[in-house]
Amino acid sequence: MVTRMLYGADPFRDMRRLQNELTRMAERGTARAAEFPTVNAYANQDGVVITAELPGVKSEDLEVSVHRDAVTLSGERRTDTDEAKGYHRRERRQGRFVRTLSLPFMVDPNGVEAAMNNGVLRLELPRAEGDKPRRIKVKAR
């Protein structure tokens, strides 16, 4: 209140605004790095279906591996152009990425199917036979 009376406005307002903007940018940058690629996963009685958004990633630059109850997506998104010397704005991440997802049950790695269409990867991960629930018939005596 006193600073407003003396200076007409808060002299630290611009510094706080800059600090808030830098904090927001830092939080956004770390969150995006952890979220690439964005995925949707749903389970059904036969297995799990995962879709991952991978714009700009070529299928030859992508590796999918399955081990027990985890699937790992790794690869590289390369830049589209070599002519960019300096960017005005750069929001799309490029370079290497790795993302591992834990699944609710064991997967049969021999039955996994993967297809890429318009930058969206679709994985069908069947549940391992030994991990499927079994119905037990109860005998009456």
Q: Which of 65, 68, 46 is nearest to 126 (CA)?
A: 46
Residues 62/66/69/73 CA torsion (nearest 10 deg): -10
Q: Is residue 99 part of a domain?
A: yes
- Tally the domains of the chain: 2
Residues 67, 111 share a domain: yes
pLDDT at 6 over 90: no
User: Per residue in 67-95, pLDDT tens?
Assistant: 988 999 999 988 766 666 777 777 777 88
Q: Is residue 51 part of a domain?
A: yes
Residue span of the structural domain in which 109 resides = 37-81+92-129
Six token digits for residue 88: 């005005």
User: Per residue in 34-68, pLDDT tens?
Assistant: 568 899 999 888 899 999 999 889 999 999 999 98
